[in-house]
Amino acid sequence: MRISEFASLQEGPRGHAPRKQLLEKIPEDAEATLVLVGRAAFLDRPTLAFVRLREAVELDVVLQVPVPVRFLFMVLGPDSPHISYHEIGRAVSTMMAERGFRRDAYLAEERQDLIKGVEEFLDCSIVLPPCEIQNEQLLRSLVPMQKELLRKRYLPDEKKPEMKILKDLGLAEKAIEEEEDPLRRTGRPFGGLVRDIKRRYPKYLSDIKDALSAQCLAAVIFIYFAALSPAITFGGLLGEKTSNMIGVSELLVSTAAQGIIFCLLGAQPLLVVGFSGPLLVFEEAFFRFCESYGMEYIVGRVWIGFWLIILVLLVVAFEGSFLVRYISRYTQEIFSFLISLIFIYETFAKLIAIFQKHPLQKSYTSRDPQPNTALLSLVLMAGTFFIAFFLRKFKNSAFLPGKLRRVIGDFGVPISIFIMALADFFIKDNTYTQKLSVPKGLQVSNTTARGWFIHPLGKNKDFPIWMMFGAALPAVLVFILIFLESQITTLIVSKPERKLVKGSGFHLDLLLIVGMGGIAALFGMPWLSATTVRTITHANALTVMAKTTTPGEKAHVQEVKEQRISGLLVSILVGLSILMEPILKLIPLAVLFGIFLYMGVTSLNGIQLYDRILLLMKPPKYHPDEPYVKRVKTWRMHIFTFTQIVCLATLWAVKSTPASLALPFLLILTVPLRRFLLPKIFKDIELKCVDDADVTFDETEGRDVYHEVQMPI
């Protein structure tokens, strides 16, 4: 941490406000390095001292913020035209900001250890002249060189003597965790699964403590409706397409049960487990197949479930989740944009259906009043969306005290639902609005055809033996659907800009989600996956944004409340919804349409593809100062965006046709498209800036890191 950044702040008319705002951005366990340089005429030669205190202490008279100081660096010397003491101070501050040298400074036992640390720092540095670099080929050649230098510098090695010291200090676990790649194959059966458990479960207690926040409570109420509405909607569609063999009751119970288990055992509890459109398409197609061949559909699902369990055990045993590393930002953004569009489209599709069933009335008379259902539904949907969206913005405004403003912002969605449901309740002109439909009691949707347990050999007739083995083929398709959506959702929610610190577990989460789905088929319940939009919405609801300290500063994420309780409570509430029918039936469906729209729109934030699509309509002088804008020619950036738009349009077209089962395979094709075809059209540095935004997954750090050319002193 460069102490000069603190020294440059001055108190203005508002007194301690800048100091307080700056302190909120500093981690609780941060320690400072005090760098003091100056000239002394009475000295004949420079004098230097580097001090490491046994315990960090606060020096109130020196720093403007109460950060404990661990290191002191002082250099004094006579006036000399050949020595810049200011640059020496900058050099030391730069080295202390690098974690490798900082580790050496903590562990140094004598002067020679510190000198060795300086030498290693310089060995991994690339020095460029202070001038504009015209040769792009030079920059392209430096990036892999710097990556290799950093890989060797940060490569964990438990045999190194400093690792033993770190273990003695209790810091080894943190150091290894920062440098471990969760997708790196161990070469041992189930090695990735074991590593996920060892890495994530030690944080279990903090997953409970971190939930003690009003923001988490607000997220529970919001995500409850965000999870309940799709469960009821998809449940109704499932009932229509499967002759009520699976309906709302089964989907509610499945969502609740699998959600509870996942939140208790999962490695990334921010994931929201639920039903999705691609799975609905499969269920409809498989039901038609079973009907045409005279087989029991609900029994066929049991055998698909058995094969799902076998498949996931094989994939996890051989650490197959490492394939996720080939899914770049290019594919992630296309997928997340597609899911957001589906939510937005479904909102207006449902509203249009209401307008078609209840068209607007051209005139009204006192003798024959005609309730305007369509208009009221539009008002309820738009009102819910705009109130929730306004309160989201209000949270970061300058009105009202900060704590009250944040509480209102956190509860923005529940407030909007309550206001619009109340408005509908008090409208007394008998205008009809469709209400939320929740089943009464814990019973299956089709009581005459099935119970809660499905016999694998069939109920009315024996299930064909050939289909018991043939079910492996549809099981592969279901597995691909769940694998893609769950793993891509984990990648999206784990992006470095979200600043998650507890990590994820690709192997463990995949085993839980697919394994639970396989067992659920025995009870006639649908298999689920990690849902992208609901998960992003969940993460956004738990995100704490840092306050800006200077005018024009871009807001950024301070932290995310990583905990298990919000998802656990949401799952419990979804299960209890079967018993809450008298209350939930008062909520108009149009209000939930507004929540659908809010989730779709807000989940677009942070998707670079969405930002670049907006740039297509902006003159270059209004483009932001981003790497994908400044380091790439505008027309070439637009061509890259156009390729993603074409992929997105193709996926949308396939989704809307009977060939929708091919959707996951087409999505997979975007991976080789990005890896093999686009490099023939775009330069490597352009792909780095636009696709990765100078971010790639670094094996030595186990996370996305910036690979910019470092310029030391």
DSSP string, 232-290: HHHHHHHHHHTTTSS-HHHHHHHHHHHHHHHHHH-S-TT--EE--HHHHHHHHHHHHHH
pLDDT in tens, 199-209: 888 888 888 88
Name which of 209-213, 225-229, 361-365, 671-675 the model is least confident about. Answer: 361-365
Q: Say how far apart CA 20 and CA 429 lie, in whole Å.
A: 54
Q: What pLDDT is attached to residue 2? A: 31
Sketch out the chain's domains with CATH numbers: 26-136 (3.40.930.10), 206-546+562-692 (no CATH)
Compute the mean pLDDT over every residue in the chain, rounded to the nearest whole number.
Answer: 77
pLDDT at 546: 67
Rounded to an integer, what distance in angstroms lies between the CA atom of residue 274 and that of residue 614? 31
pLDDT of residue 1 exceeding 50: no
The amino acid at 249: S
CA distance 369 to 585: 26
Token pair 């499967």 in the structure block, residue? 242
| Number of residues in the chain | 713
Global model pTM greater than 0.85: no
Going by pLDDT thresholds of 50, 70 and 90, the confidence category of residue 154 is low
pLDDT at 177: 45
pLDDT digits (tens, 9 = 90+) for 493-531: 887 777 777 878 888 989 999 999 889 888 888 888 888
Of residues 538 and 229, more confidently modeled? 538
Please name the amino acid found at residue 687.
L
Residue 270 has pLDDT above 60, yes or no: yes
The span from the CA of 394 to the CA of 391, in Å, is: 5
